[in-house]
A and B are shown apart, each in its own frame.
Chain A
Amino acid sequence: MARAVKTQRKALNTAIAWGVGLLIFFPILWTILTSFKTEAEAIADPPVWFNFSWTLENYFTVQERSNYFRHFWNSVVISVGSTLIGLIIAVPAAWAMAFVPGKRTKDVLMWMLSTKMLPPVGVLVPLYLIFRDLGLLDTRIGLVFVLTMINLPIIIWMLYTYFREIPSEILEAARMDGAGLREEVLHVLMPMAVPGMASTVLLNIILAWNEAFWTLNLTAAKAAPLTAFIASYSSPEGLFYAKLSAASTMAIAPILIMGWFSQKQLVRGLTFGAVK
């Protein structure tokens, strides 16, 4: 009897949760569906759901008309580049703070975090002028630099929280076992830190990929990543829903997939370890 009630409850939970989940996901689902429609089907009233003539035409059109893949590639270069450079700078710092904490380590960490609190618009003007004078406007290298600096505190913090979970006794064991600093890092620390580093990388690529303040303000055409390129659809000409959907689907698909993989680490990364 109790068991039957439990199954009923579970069925009800399932129905409600799936309903709410699909409702929240619906805009994305609708975008993906629309990307396979013709422009006429895309604005049809009443809307067509699945029984339309599926086509990939929009995807080809987007590429032909606006050289979509150049912007896609810009996004890849900027997000991956800034993350990897950030990682190279951050790993030694996080390693040192996690394993050789000093009296001021905590202050340094908090200070690094505080740079993240600076509203971007507060430094928009000088940065724009510096970029203009150095010829960095609308260049990928300029954006890589900005995004590296923006995400560096997050990378350091994430790595720090991961490194801190590696028990120091294990590193001491390696030292007792005769490992020098190089062996200690190579054979013991790195293999244990790889999972944490992987999720740090993943989260930072996501954040950099979706960054939409500096990418919009510091690029025009040449170096524009997808965030800025997509924004150019905001002044439409004629029917464009299907093409907009195709461009959007391609822009969010890789990140959606990466995001689903990193959802557990997401919480820790975005709350600087305050919620795990």
Chain B
Amino acid sequence: MGKITLSQVTKSFGDVQVIPPLDLEINDGEFVVFVGPSGCGKSTLLRLIAGLEDVTSGRIEIDGAEATELPPAKRRLAMVFQSYALYPHMSVRKNIAFPMKMANVPEDEQARRIESAAKALNLTDYLDRKPGQLSGGQRQRVAIGRAIVREPAAFLFDEPLSNLDAALRVGMRLEISELHERLATTMIYVTHDQVEAMTMADKIVVLRAGHIEQVGSPLDLYRAPRNLFVAGFIGSPKMNFIEGQTAAAHGAHTIGIRPEHIEVSATEGLWQGRVAVSEHLGSDSFFHVHDTGLADVITVRASGEIGFRHGDTIFMTPREDQLHRFGADGLRL
């Protein structure tokens, strides 16, 4: 069980309120991702749930029971830290055993759980090594192993992949997702990387300056961003925003169109511009287009190999059904 409810939770450091009153419900078994730019309060929120910080006001409930004043050890939550926070003086085995030792789990049960965790995480050969002798990816798996064996009500991940190189990050992303499928335990995952959020989450919570901007499934957020901030944050490359006459023609202050929702042509189209930079990835091509009279730069994505080069004239037509309209207050119309 791992239902977590935050009601009217706030956090201030001195005079600075980093989390204004906030309500959030996390259902049992959900994979929830807190995403937002650095300094948006997502890590603080996670630490409030973990009990590593005191809330300034408000209530936190875990499985319907009041947990606001509980120390971290009593909340039955496991956390994977950004730096992994492995105990450098203990072997991998002892690292994984530590939470069970603290909970007075019997020795043979400890051994059984260590073995199954090690097997699941490919750590069997490394159990007697010290963390210093492991690679980044292996350390990451030890940190996860240490979290699994507690059989917690929920897992908390604080930017766990940010210290890994790109290739490893993709692999670990899959492993964590598989782990969630297998355990079906609540997971709360903090990241600033919207790709991680989109690929892993059941539910994404977009935060800015301590505020929740939008909560929803990845595709909800992609299809119907509630405001300009979410629209710009979710999706890669970023959504193009166009103001002025073109937007007014659609009855909006700003219109947004994703790069992948613009058709390109060498001969005809609604908008015209000049290619400044073209990036050819093989499967896709990205064009950064200048001199459109719409915005400083319009980014366009086309499938496959299309041969526009620097300086070429390009014609673009947005797909009308994929236009996002926003009012002067930044909210979706």
Contact = CB atoms under 8 A, between A and B. Distances in A.
Interface in A172-221: 172-180, 183, 187-188, 191-192
A170 B83 CA distance: 9
A169 B73 contact: no
Nearest to A173: B85
B72 A172 contact: yes
A170 B72 contact: no
Interface string A149-183: 00000000000000000010110111111111001
Interface residues of B, number: 25
A228 B67 CA distance: 63
Given A169-B83, A172-B52, A177 B150 contact: yes
B71 A191 contact: no
B192 interface: no
A170 B73 contact: no
Contacts of B89: 191-192
B146 interface: yes
A173 B150 CA distance: 13
A178 B99 contact: yes
Contacts of B87: 170, 173-174, 187-188, 191-192
B35 interface: no
Contacts of B77: 176
A92 B98 CA distance: 24
Given A187-B98, A191-B89, A175 B83 contact: no
Nearest to B79: A176
B88 interface: yes
B146 A169 contact: no
Contacts of B82: 169
A187 B95 CA distance: 11
A175 B81 contact: no
Interface string B58-97: 0000000000000111000111011101111110000000
Nearest to A192: B89
A167 B87 CA distance: 10
B54 to A, nearest CB: 13
A2 B52 CA distance: 59
A55 B156 CA distance: 71
A188 B52 CA distance: 17
B297 interface: no
Contact of B146 (A172, A177, A188): A177
Contact of B81 (A173, A180, A183, A192): A173
Given A175-B52, A176-B50, A170 B85 contact: yes
Contacts of B50: 172, 176
B73 A179 contact: yes
B143 to A, nearest CB: 8
B230 to A, nearest CB: 30
How would you classify the secondary structure of chain A's contact residues: helix, strand, loop or mixed?
helix
| A interface, size bucket | 10 to 19
B72 A176 contact: yes
A176 B52 contact: yes
Contacts of A174: 87, 98
Interface string B40-59: 00000000001110000000
Contacts of B167: none
B328 interface: no
Contacts of B281: none
B270 interface: no
B318 to A, nearest CB: 46
Given A175-B72, A176-B50, A167 B98 contact: no
Nearest to B99: A177
Interface string A67-95: 00000000000000000000000000000
Given A170-B85, A188-B87, A175 B71 contact: yes
A176 B98 contact: no
B249 interface: no
Nearest to A177: B99
Contacts of B52: 172, 175-176
B293 to A, nearest CB: 51
A180 B71 CA distance: 9
B166 interface: no
B102 interface: yes
A178 B103 contact: yes
A192 B150 CA distance: 23
Contacts of B102: 177-179, 183
A187 B88 CA distance: 11
Given A176-B52, A180-B73, A167 B99 contact: no
A180 B51 CA distance: 13
A167 to B, nearest CB: 6
Contacts of A176: 50, 52, 72-73, 77-79, 99, 156
Nearest to B149: A177
14 contacts: A169-B85, A172-B50, A172-B79, A174-B98, A175-B52, A176-B52, A176-B73, A178-B73, A178-B150, A179-B73, A180-B73, A191-B87, A192-B87, A192-B88
Give 4 nearest A-B pairs by CB, closest first: A177-B99, A178-B102, A173-B85, A169-B85
Given A169-B83, A174-B87, A178-B150, 11 more contacts: A167-B85, A169-B81, A169-B85, A170-B88, A172-B50, A176-B73, A176-B79, A177-B73, A177-B102, A192-B87, A192-B89
